[in-house]
Structure 1
Amino acid sequence: MHSSNLIFDRNSVGTRALHCVSGLALSAAIAMVSITLGDLPWLQSHGLSALIVAILLGILLGNTIYPRIAVYCGPGVSFSKQTLLRAGIVLYGFRLTFHDVAHVGTAGVVIDALVLTSTFALALLLGQKVLGLDRHTSVLIGAGSAICGAAAVMATEPVVKARAEQVTVAVSTVVVFGTLAIVVYPLLYQWNLNWHLLPADMSGFGIYIGSTVHEVAQVLAAARSISPQAADSAVIAKLVRVMMLAPFLLALSVWMRRNAAHDGDDGKASRVTIPWFAFAFLLIVGLNTVMPLSADFHRDATAIDTWLLTMSMAALGLTTHLSAIRRAGLKPLILAALLFGWLVAGGALINCAVTTLAA
């Protein structure tokens, strides 16, 4: 009896390991295709990174083929969506240094902080109080709009413990309005040559783009169509905004706990969920700042990071059901549209006010 139980346990462990490997292989295969497609000039010019391609391919497979094989791949797909995501966020720190802060100056940091806090606060107000959305969806859309698009949505998910379809709805809004920003901001720059309502110099307009556009890839696409100088300042402002992800996640965890306690949910309010991976991300940024790391190391670390994040986005798509997105309705899109309007108009006001006061 003991021997048969031992054999059963071994077989069970082996089966779980096989399912984990098969799920990782599936996520990696989608990531490989997505990274290849993400290198196409047309997709790059439209700000559609490998991350976005991966979630779209994942959704396609997740609503056609994957349900038939989910029982064989589920553990590996879950591992990709959760553990590989955290590892990818940590390695993202090798793209940044604290010297980036100096390039945009105090004014740039203040602008980023004001845009982040005002956009997220507006998401909570409009999402829950006006549109009647659930808290998780409002938080995810707010994080994606306020910080760094899909990566911020994915990094926020472990803190709020949202469902896959809520995460996908939030990521979808980043795709829609981040892509729209690629067209809108160059037009704003041309109009501003006559209006003079926004920062007129290339560097100032680049900071405006970097502080208000969703994704890093979308920031690059919008700013490059203006000038290389605008692109440089836009990317630096955007990366400073990305560095605010870690303190944002900790503050969000504390806020979620207090709200759970206020709502009388003692189970959820028992402890603060500390996003350790976010602090590891800051540690890597610090390491990248103080230690001379070779160009080859940075290239390899960035490549690994891209793989990990793309695999996690593919896994998210695989576990997303379109029927759940349809049930979410138009309200998430309306919220994202209102936040996009605030990023364009309110972000312009913040940039002008801070720049004027700092002068």
Structure 2
Amino acid sequence: MAFSPENRAGTLSGILFVAIFAAAATFIAGLGPIKALGLSPLVIGIVMGIFYANTLHNKMPKEWQSGITFSGKKILRFAIVIYGFRITFQQIAAVGMDGFLVSLTMLTSTLILGSWLGHKIFGMEKDTSILTASGAAVCGAAAVLATEPVLKAEEYKTAIAVSMVVLFGTISMFLYPVMYETIIKDAVGFLHMDPRTFGIYVGGTIHEVAQVVAVPASVPGSPKEMADAAVIVKMTRVIMIAPMLIVLGLYLAWAAKKEGGERNEKTKLVIPWFAVYFIMVAGFNSFHLIPQHYVDIINQIDTFLLTMAMTALGMGTIFAKFKGLGLAPIYTAAAMFVWLVVGGFIVTKVIVGA
């Protein structure tokens, strides 16, 4: 047990060690050039964790490992639960049924397509395929982190998925404003989108919340309705992570039984209760019982806890475990990227029709 009398000191030291890394990541993410790139503390944290894992890992007292593991699992689940304070049901209702349908369609199609392509076409291990697909389908690194406990995946698989989210999410952040200015804004016919529709397209197809916020801000003179639609649709995708994880748990149990894995741990139905609690927190937040100032503080704490979890996962990522994967993760993430950009455009035009 992590906090048994004999392990307590090592666990606390490990947690403090991870917290120091997370604090450094938070500071670095706030620096001008890094902030301009839209890189969140979560991304900086996992990079720092991976660097440490492949350089100085053997210098750490082994007693601290329980604290790192605690940060990557228990703190992670708690952070996902209070992530619900970023969302209200009123926000989801405000964007309308068309925004909801775009979110649902893109999440479902991207998750299924990415999982299938990664595993069946590019030969990637199943858990890594699902993690990579979840990051693209829902909300980037946070979705990968939330999916990892359901799959019981190893840290390096999570790191692979997060790296793909960072790569193609960053490309999206620069590509979409250029597309809007050069093609979409002044086009006629099917290629044209009004600002609200483009916002729905952005929110329904770009990986990270921070990247979604950055795109309308990068469009010269973009109207407020573009940014509002983008963020609300994105948060609609975020809240869908809870039902997605529940369905994933049902699928894993069904698949394990079908394969004859009566003794396989994944045969047992896994209900991700932290995802259920996440929805409950979002529901509570919808009543606005807590002043917004305090909600903002909770969200800042939550970002730090997520950064700790991401850093801890990075600390368990050894490059030697990547051998044999080749370019399969990049092929899978690239295929999903094309679907999000092209397929997402078509889906948005068909559903919204503006």
TM-score, with structure 1 as normaliser: 0.93
1:284 matched residue in structure 2: 281
Please give the alpha-carbon distance, in whole angstroms, between the structure 1 residues aligned to 2:28 and 2:6: 33
1:244 matched residue in structure 2: 240
CA deviations on 1:152-208 (whole Å, 9 max, x unpaired) are 011001111111111100000001000100111011101213434445221211110
2:211 matched residue in structure 1: 218
- How do 1:53-72 and structure 2 match up within 5 A? 53-69=44-60, 71-72=62-63
- How do 1:297-336 and structure 2 match up within 5 A? 297-336=294-333
* 3-state DSSP of counterpart to 1:329: coil
- How do 1:186-201 and structure 2 match up within 5 A? 186-190=177-181, 191-196=183-188, 197-198=190-191, 200-201=193-194
Please give the alpha-carbon distance, in whole angstroms, between the structure 2 residues aligned to 1:91 and 1:78: 20
Please give the alpha-carbon distance, in whole angstroms, between the structure 2 residues aligned to 1:193 and 1:73: 54
- How do 1:17-166 and structure 2 match up within 5 A? 17-69=8-60, 71-166=62-157
Please give the alpha-carbon distance, in whole angstroms, between the structure 1 residues aligned to 2:247 and 2:25: 33
Please give the alpha-carbon distance, in whole angstroms, between the structure 2 residues aligned to 1:70 and 1:293: 42
Please give the alpha-carbon distance, in whole angstroms, between the structure 1 residues aligned to 2:51 and 2:102: 38
CA deviations on 1:212-253 (whole Å, 9 max, x unpaired) are 000001111122112252222211110010000000000000
* 3-state DSSP of counterpart to 1:195: coil
Superposed displacement of residue 325, structure 1: 2.6
Superposed displacement of residue 104, structure 1: 1.1
Please give the alpha-carbon distance, in whole angstroms, between the structure 2 residues aligned to 1:106 and 1:143: 23
Q: Is the contact between residue 254 and residue 267 of structure 2 (CA under 8 Å) also seen in structure 1?
A: no
Q: Is the contact between residue 198 and residue 205 of structure 1 (CA under 8 Å) also seen in structure 2?
A: no
CA deviations on 1:70-106 (whole Å, 9 max, x unpaired) are 5131000000000011111111111110001122100
Please give the alpha-carbon distance, in whole angstroms, between the structure 2 residues aligned to 1:199 and 1:216: 24
| Higher gyration radius (CA) | 1
Closer/same/farther in 2, CA of residues 270 and 339 from structure 1, 3 Å limit: closer
1:207 matched residue in structure 2: 200
User: Mean alpha-carbon deviation: is it higher for 323-332 or for 45-54?
Assistant: 323-332
Superposed displacement of residue 326, structure 1: 4.3
Letter aligned with residue 272 of structure 1: L
Q: CA RMSD in A?
A: 1.6
User: Identity percentage over the alignment?
Assistant: 39
User: Mean alpha-carbon deviation: is it higher for 60-69 or for 151-160?
Assistant: 60-69
Please give the alpha-carbon distance, in whole angstroms, between the structure 2 residues aligned to 1:54 and 1:293: 30
Letter aligned with residue 129 of structure 1: K
Closer/same/farther in 2, CA of residues 70 and 231 from structure 1, 3 Å limit: farther
Please give the alpha-carbon distance, in whole angstroms, between the structure 2 residues aligned to 1:70 and 1:220: 41
Please give the alpha-carbon distance, in whole angstroms, between the structure 1 residues aligned to 2:329 and 2:231: 28
Unmatched tracts of structure 1, length 5 or more: 1-11
User: Mean alpha-carbon deviation: is it higher for 290-299 or for 255-264?
Assistant: 290-299
1:346 matched residue in structure 2: 343
Match of 2:258 among 259, 262, 285: 262
Letter aligned with residue 192 of structure 1: I
Letter aligned with residue 333 of structure 1: I
TM-score, with structure 2 as normaliser: 0.94
Letter aligned with residue 130 of structure 1: I
Closer/same/farther in 2, CA of residues 234 and 318 from structure 1, 3 Å limit: same
* 3-state DSSP of counterpart to 1:327: coil
Superposed displacement of residue 46, structure 1: 1.4
